[in-house]
Each structure stands twice: as C-alpha cells, then as structure tokens.
Amino acid sequence: MKRVLLLLILPSLFFVSNTVFGQQDAQFSQYMFNGLYLNPGYAGIEGVTRFSLIHRTQWLGYEPTEYKGTAPNSQILTGSTKLPKNYGGAGVYFLFDRLGPIRNLDVQLSYSYHLKVKDGTLGIGLRGGFYSQKVNTDFYRVVDPSDPIYQYFQNNNSVSQLKADLTGGVWYNTKKYYGGISFTHIPQAKYSLGSDSIASKLINHMYITGGYNFTLGTNIIITPSALIQTDLNELTYLFGALATYNNKIWAGLNFRQSFAEREAAKKGKTLSNDDIILYVGINVLKNKQGNDALRLGYAFDFVTSGVNAKKRTSHEIMVSYMTPTPWALPKPKVRTPRYRHEEN
C-alpha cells in the first residue's frame, strides 16, 4: 500500500514545483464530499447509494458595470451506487457552470471496477459523456470592431457546440484514509462554435486528492485533506482539515492557493489568489439501518489577495442523501400455505 501512496504523492510534488494555475473546470470548495466529480474511480466506493447537490456562488456581489455578465456560479448533481455481485460501482453527474459569457453543461456517466487491496478498496474508473459550451456573444467588449470573431458574434447572438468527453482515474479507500488521481478531458475536444476564426480546446487536467482520519478519544475525528489540480502548465491546491464530533457535526478550515504567470515582460511566477475557506455541516435523519442519511454542508470562501477584479466572498451549499443499495436490503420472507404452520 505504501507503493500506491507514493505513486499518488510523487506526481503532486513534481507539479507543485513546476506549474501554475488557471480555472477552466468548475471549482468547488467542498471537494472532500465531491469525489465523483474529481474521479470516476470513486463511483460506488462508499458501498451505498448517494445523491448529492452542490450550489456554488463565486465572488458574491460581483457585477461588472461596463459590460454584461455576472459572477461565476456552478451547480452539480451527482448519483453514485455500488453495483450488485461485486460488479464495481456506477455514477452519474450533471454539471451546469456559468463563467461570464460562457455556459457549460457537462453530463457524464462513470463506471469503477473495484478490487480489494489489503484493508481497502481500489476503484479503477472511466467516465464518458458530453460537454456543451454556449457563448452569449453580446457579453463581449471589443477593441477592434472589424475583428472577424466579433463580426461573427454580431450575426449570432448565442452560439453553442456539443462534444464527447472522457476521463480516467483510480481511487483507493479505507476506513482510515483515501487517495485518488485522475486525468480529465482526455480527447481535448476542440470548439469552433461554427466559426473558422474560433479555436477553443478543453485542456487535460490532473486531480490528486487524499485524506486521513485521526481519532481523538471516542467522539472526535480529525481529517486532514488536500487537493491539487493542474493542467500541467498551471496549478491550484487546497489543504486543511475537518473536525467531526460524534459522527454528527463537523467544522473545518482550508486554504486555497492559486498561481498565475507574470506578464511576458517579467520573469518568474506570482501568487495571484489566496482563499481561506471555513466549513460547517451536520448529519441528520437516520435511516432504518441506523446510518445518517441526510448530510447538509456549507462552505464560506474569503479571498485574501487578488481582489481587484472580484468580490471577496464565495458561498457553497451542499445537500446529500444516502440510502442502502437496493440489492443489499434483506429479502422479504416468502410465505406459502405449506410452510406457514411451522411459524406458529
């Protein structure tokens, strides 16, 4: 198992020292509860059926004054379940991401093949689906009105294009710790939006995440965790910890650091954005098996640098509901006249 962890950790150290960050994929602060979005190997790894909804409003209150547009916001709905007869796990998610004039719709199906490795489960997953980009063309300001792209936008108020997408990943999960690595947008789909002058591409991203549960006494669990995401040219990472009391309520703190390249005339790299993230949450509504079925969470982001073109706060709300897998439920008794007298 140490070899597996090294394979997950060593690539992250390489990219921390050699890359910087940019946001193309939707960004979520409650990544520790959003494993299916990060990695298809996560599908069914919990051994239950779970549905989750996360809504994120980034830079609340940001309203540009000189052109149309709003602050980024994202919504993701996921479903994950363990399949019967040790066939692995399956999952699906629907993502809507609005980033200025761009509207992204992402629909993906995941499958994860599960292997027992020592005291944990290794999920080897693939997911495929469709990624749609839509551009509200009247949101743009231009310097040169004769630009062919602007002229194309003038004649088309709204343009969109749908492309196939593919992601692969592995996820290892035990009661004590977890870790995963995935590579998204493997085909690197190109979007022309119907114009010969437009060339936009979905860039490959790598996600590395992990966490460990430390038990303090009988009622408190401390879970440090980290997430690294990169397109091999740019980088962001999050690190921090959650404290869970009596498997009921949790609170925590995370830090997000993002790096961007300096202007071409300058050398080196510069820190472009820092966030402090606060978490609170609660498990409620036990099911018939005694497990906490409903999970409610909230994340508050406070930007500490790079605030010239954004507002300081972002907000994220999560609702998650867990049920036992249908094929894991106890089978009902079959009563027949022949054997019913034996029950009396």
Phi, psi dihedrals of residue 50, rounded to the nearest 5°: -135, 135
Give the CA distances from residue 187 to residues 84, 92, 235, 311, in Å, rounded to whole numbers and listed in that order. 31, 19, 21, 35
- Is-contact 35 63, C-beta < 8 A? no
Count of CB atoms within 10 A of residue 120's CB? 20
Does the reported pTM lie above 0.85?
no
What is the reported pLDDT for 3? 37
What is the reported pLDDT for 275? 87
| Residue 11 vs residue 43, higher pLDDT | 43
Q: Where are the domains of the chain?
A: 2-212+312-343
Mean per-residue pLDDT, 22-46: 90
Phi, psi dihedrals of residue 117, rounded to the nearest 5°: -125, 105
What is the reported pLDDT for 116? 94
Using only the alpha carbons of the chain, give its radius of gyration. Answer: 23
- Average pLDDT over the chain reads 81
- 63 pLDDT above the threshold of 80: no
At 190, the pLDDT band (50, 70, 90 cuts) reads confident
- Is-contact 26 97, C-beta < 8 A? yes
Mean per-residue pLDDT, 279-304: 84
Nearest Cα residue to 273 out of 102, 66, 12, 58:
58
- 176 pLDDT above the threshold of 90: yes
What is the reported pLDDT for 260? 60
What is the reported pLDDT for 294? 92
- Is-contact 211 32, C-beta < 8 A? yes
**Which range in 35-44, 195-204, 231-240 is most confidently predicted, on average pLDDT?**
35-44
Phi, psi dihedrals of residue 84, rounded to the nearest 5°: -70, 160
Q: How many CA atoms lie within 13 A of 187 on its CB side?
A: 12
- Is-contact 241 279, C-beta < 8 A? no
Mean per-residue pLDDT, 285-292: 65
pLDDT digits (tens, 9 = 90+) for 218-235: 899 999 999 999 887 788
- 1 pLDDT above the threshold of 60: no
- DSSP 3-state of 273: strand
Phi, psi dihedrals of residue 188, rounded to the nearest 5°: 50, 60
What is the reported pLDDT for 140? 66
